[in-house]
Structure 1
């Protein structure tokens, strides 16, 4: 192997050090792996006070006010609060799903009426069964459903774990019986809800579950499901539930922690719900969890872990949630409570308003991309129209393409403006995105770089890289409930880089590498070009892969091979099978090493990389892989527009790259001459997108979203070459006529 190849591989190994040194340092300061038996150690400061869990459903923070729900208002004023993601195994979460998920500590739910067990949003919810003779009716059916869903959910985990550690659990009400059941479905301590008997029931065990009923919105119920008899409208139901919560608070033993959570949706609509905690460990402020890394936003899986840790028992390592803790402390006052309520409602409103807009947005972007492809195909023809007309169309095409490429970054920046508070959220978010599209486009066009071939490409790529990378480094608040970011109501991911963010981020990194390296190569400085490319690429890998920032397991294995190919091409080193195998080995080793070191950290500090590494040895890895494969296939064949864009974009690039003399490639061929690293950069981009498509869950989203920024910018570069050519031709003809 040549000296240059060794230099390249040394740079790749530097990535390992850059990514892993922070992880190893935090590992050294943290406890080693969990104790044998599959349980994580209980923190030394585990609570010793009783904990009372009050479960309801359908309530959001918008239902809470000082007069209508005084008990919930007191929890907001005096306790710690957050928005709660309750997504279970289906799109909307029924009350029985919420209680089953609490029992398992993972996603679980009752089957729907279909033969496959799937449940649509239009299917009515089954009632929560009432414990009969000390057993939950239909428990075995729930167990079979959980086993079939591949979420590694074991019903009865909460009750069984407490019992195995000599702790009893008291259940009050039907849903509480489901949540407290053992793995066999048995509920040794059960009582129906009776306000006059609460004082004794709440003092019987270290952990008590109380079902105070669920709100079912008459305006949102699936067809065929009747509203609870005599329940009234939404406000009346909320007031009735609040009355029972107040009864529990009044009967709770002194020194106990009370956690109130809305575990399910109110009907067909999926929304963020509410959770509040009050007691010695929960003063006025905001709840947080290491599973979401978002202050004021937690998930239902955190509730089971919180109950177990509050009881002072070991937490099974299979549970994906983390204990709820008081994050941001605040004043105990009415005005402070109103401010917190405004922030909690913002979480819910933003997620609720943006979710239905996402499909429409992506459809619009897809059709816009196809229109740009069509317009480009027309103007690439040399004999199209007069020279003046063609020059005008080329200029329009280039500008439209650059403007289109600024949309992804603008969708994240739009969350700097509270667009969801406006009367017409659709118009508000369009205006917000349009504002930042205008700003970024102006920067790309108006500076001195706007007149250079790769100037706008470099500006748009750099801005996108900084916005997305900076956001995940600072906590990822911009991508929460954004059009191209993470959706809390779906609950798949709350921090780091998801597939869409990675596709945009990695594509921008490689495009920036193309612009910078071409600058140096044109000046005969290939080593500087390679070093600059390596610096940009490795920085992107660190931001994407570091567990404290991007925490992306599938990103670095896709980005590193593309980066390595580009660096070798810049240095003039031909890619061989042997070198490709070395790059693949280094990439796979990096992924496993990061996962291994992350698994050594304390369970509360692990990302999903460490948990997946553990699952390779403790079981469950295949369920994760197969579930993600099912998701990929569902997206590929379920969204025909996305499935349409992927092959069109890939064929568009592959055909031109493979046949430099093919129709339409003349502009790119001239672009290769003007931008020396464009062709190897496009191949590197293709390598990254293809590997990302193959190894990630929902991987089809990676090439599709990468194309949103890559193809318009590539077109802009190529059209600029044709524009210069047409302008030169017009000048020559004018001189001849003169």
Structure 2
């Protein structure tokens, strides 16, 4: 029976691996469009809050008559200089020009100036290439011009920054002209692809000391808008026009704007398969759109996908106003939440640490008298349940437009607190509250349910949420990011642990194992399916934890050989999912598929070094959230490994109510550890998982202590009431 059960568990692992390969290997081909002409009008520093009929009439007309979206313009640094944006257009991926200055963070240094063109070449190009190699992003500068030139077509650059976008990989520029209003008609009608630099808007209040801005922001906006109007009037008939703000206005990063008008883009909203968000696209999509517009394949090195338009009912002013408000909401929410993440987590992390200190004082009998200890334990338990309800509430908060309120930190805190209080109240007052396992199971189920429903319906709650996806970072726009996976996996394993504990106490071990397998299978599919969670690194971390819990529920003892078998299965599943991801079309691959490609290209060492540096910086600079890793997760490992410790003794008392608790925690530690090892910025996974796991574990243990105290009090009252 034991060997048969182990075989079933490993078969479950292999089946999920096969499903992961199948779904990750699926892709949908895109039919080629009829090639035509395309004009990219590039600027910088303009967001949707800057667009209005009065100040920018030409942009407003494009908004009314064309398609629009918020644009994530992200270089390799926290903010994007104009040169970075144009180099990114050239490469179809993240890029940046070197920045001179003494500030430790390059984002605080002045932006470099526009490149010059001497003898049909850019003198500063070698420094661009060297800098790209140092950043280890596998950036291929000159990709756009090389692909167009290789197809026998020509590309015209107009304006100084446009030279960077129009350059070939060796830095030469076949066709380039300065921006001259008198010569626009000739410059814009000679090639099927034209890049035009109409100038940038720099914010005088947001630039570094080395950036000198002579005009006001409004004057700059009016001047850029007028030049955009001139380009639109002089350009070729029947061409597609893309107007994009490729850079930030200063040190502050935020979403920018992009507009498209022409035969392929009528009134409506832009979307891209690279973001899967209507009204939100990223800079590499522009390169892919240009290549697609002239009938060329988008190479694997370009990380974007061609833009398409979701048509509007008409081009009325009312419809345009609605689109503008939606785009401003995207911009404001992403900008405000990016500034609020750090202070929010400071309060949340230190607040959790305070709860743990209270727990320790109560446990040691140093807080509250014996007569009031029950009350103190009850209140600390309620605080723990409330803390565990916060992660799910940070996503539910996006049901309310908190960014429209005057003081955003107060608004988002109030909304998150309101949802957390509602979830905690239901957890502590519902019919399930009679069992110590009830509140943790309820909070885990709510967390898992909220995240599952969100990714299945398009990840809108995650977008610009405190613990979700940050569009200005442009790391991920849909599915499950590392923090989301950490919360989802933790909630799934804790829910499986509580459900299996109830069934095991009733003598239903087989039913308990089936329940764990079903919860785990649902979690793996939602997390790993390309059309939902799209998380290539999630299944290899989550499946071993689920299998380990199934094996423990069935009462199978884990020998070193079985541990080795599980480890080999993890490696095999990781390779299978990675290769399956690599088999998808390049634009649909996750970081695992891209890593396989880097191995084939011989650049895997750059990826490994860059990811290791990212994890190190997050661990060193990520306080206070990173404090939860040594304080919570490491303590949990010690408690599990040392049966004589005070925490383990308390855990043993809780295990009487939850017989699969220790196995569930071991499974959770295994999942979070593997997730940390194989994912980009994986150090965030155990830290974020601890924000849910630790308070729920504390609430369960305190519930057992509280029940024992209440039972002891009832016994003492009964003894006093007996007749002598």
* Partner residue in 1 for 2:337: 354
Separation of aligned partners in 2, 1:154 and 1:17: 34
- In 2, Cα distance between equivalents of 1:168 and 1:356: 43
Looking at structure 2, the residues matched to 209 and 370 of structure 1 have their Cα atoms a distance apart, in angstroms, of 54
Q: Of 362, 383, 386, which residue of structure 2 is paired with 1:400?
A: 383
- Which residue of the partner structure matches residue 229 of structure 2? 246
* CA drift at 1:333: 1.1
Does 2:251 match 1:268? yes
Q: Distance in 1 between matches of 2:287 and 2:366?
A: 69
Q: Which residue of 2 aligns with 1:528?
A: 511
Residue 9 (structure 1) aligned with residue 10 (structure 2): yes
Q: How far apart are 1:606 and its partner, in Å?
A: 4.2
Give the stretch that moved more between structures: 433-442 or 204-213: 433-442
Q: What is the aligned partner in structure 1 of residue 616 from structure 2?
A: 633
Q: How big is the shift at 1:650?
A: 2.1
Q: Is the 8 A contact 1:82 1:297 kept in 2?
A: yes
**Which position in structure 1 is the counterpart of 2:86?**
99
Displacement of 1:261 in angstroms is 0.4
Is this contact kept in 2: 1:521–1:676, CA < 8 A? Answer: yes
Conserved in 1, the CA contact under 8 Å of 2:536 and 2:581?
A: no
Cα distance in 2 for residues equivalent to 1:693 and 1:484: 17
- d(CA) in 2 for partners of 1:617, 1:192: 41
Q: CA deviation at 1:581?
A: 2.6
In the alignment, structure 1 residue 81 sits paired with structure 2 residue 64 = no
Question: Contact conserved, 1:518 with 1:677, CA < 8 A, in 2?
Answer: yes
How many residues align? The count is 720
1:191-202 equivalence runs, <5 A:
191-202=177-188
Match of 1:259 among 222, 236, 242: 242
Q: By how many angstroms is 1:308 displaced?
A: 1.3
Asked if 1:698 corresponds to 2:681, the answer is: yes
Q: 633-642 vs 579-588, which deviates more?
A: 579-588
Aligned pair 1:657/2:640, yes or no? Answer: yes
The worse-fitting range, judged by mean Cα deviation, of 524-533 and 584-593 is: 584-593
- Is the CA contact (8 Å cut-off) linking 1:513 and 1:533 kept in structure 2? yes
- TM-score scaled by structure 1? 0.95
Aligned counterparts of 2:246 and 2:577: Cα–Cα separation in 1: 35
TM-superposed deviation, 1:113 = 2.3
Aligned: 1:145 with 2:128: no
- Among 476, 479, 503, the residue aligned to 2:486: 503
Q: State the shift of 1:21 in Å.
A: 4.3
Q: Deviations over 1:135-189 (max 9, x none)?
A: 1121100110011111110111111111111111101100111110111111121
Distance 2:400 2:19 in 1: 35
Q: Is the 8 A contact 1:387 1:730 kept in 2?
A: no
Q: Which moved more, 1:46-55 or 1:170-179?
A: 46-55
The structure 2 residue matched to 1:676, chosen from 642, 655, 659, is 659
SS in 2 for 1:112: coil
Give, in angstroms, the shift of residue 329 of structure 1. Answer: 3.5
**In structure 2, C-alpha distance between the alignment counterparts of 1:217 and 1:712, rounded to whole Å:** 44
Instruction: Note if 1:365 corresponds to 2:357.
Output: no
Q: Aligned residue for 2:205? A: 219
Q: CA deviation at 1:607?
A: 4.2
Distance 1:62 1:47, change over 3 A: farther
Find the counterpart in structure 1 of residue 627 from structure 2: 644
- Report the CA distance between 1:429 and its aligned residue: 0.7
Kept in 2: contact 1:649–1:707 (CA 8 A): yes
Q: Secondary structure at the match of 1:204?
A: coil
TM-score normalized with structure 2 length: 0.96
Residue number in structure 1 paired with 2:360: 377
1:552 aligns with 2:538: no
Cα RMSD for the two superposed structures:
1.8
Contact kept? 1:405, 1:460, Cα under 8 Å: yes
Tell me how far 1:119 sits from its aligned partner.
4.6
Distance 2:638 2:575 in 1: 35
Q: CA deviation at 1:729?
A: 2.1
Distance 1:611 1:639 in 2: 26
Aligned-partner Cα distance in 2 for 1:544–1:693: 16
Note closer, same or farther for the CA distance 1:22–1:144 as it changes in structure 2 (3 Å cut).
Answer: closer
Matched, 1:685 2:668: yes
The C-alpha deviation readout for 1:64-93, integer Å capped at 9, x for no partner, is 111211110111011111000111011111
Aligned positions of 1:248-397 closer than 5 A: 248-381=231-364, 385-397=368-380
**How far does residue 528 in structure 1 lie from its aligned partner after superposition?**
0.5
Contact 1:387 1:726 in 2 (8 A): no
Q: Is the CA contact 1:286–1:327 (under 8 Å) kept in the aligned structure 2? A: yes
Q: Is the contact made by 2:535 and 2:590 (CA closer than 8 Å) also made in structure 1? A: no
Say whether residues 1:154 and 2:155 are aligned partners: no
**Alignment correspondent of 1:64:** 51
- Displacement of 1:629 in angstroms is 1.3
Deviations 1:538-585 (A, max 9, x none): 211111111221121222221112111111111110112222232233
Write the deviation string for residues 32-78 of structure 1: whole angstroms up to 9, x where unpaired: xxxxxxxxxxx653342110000000000111111211110111011
| Greater shift in the superposed pair: 648-657 or 372-381 | 648-657
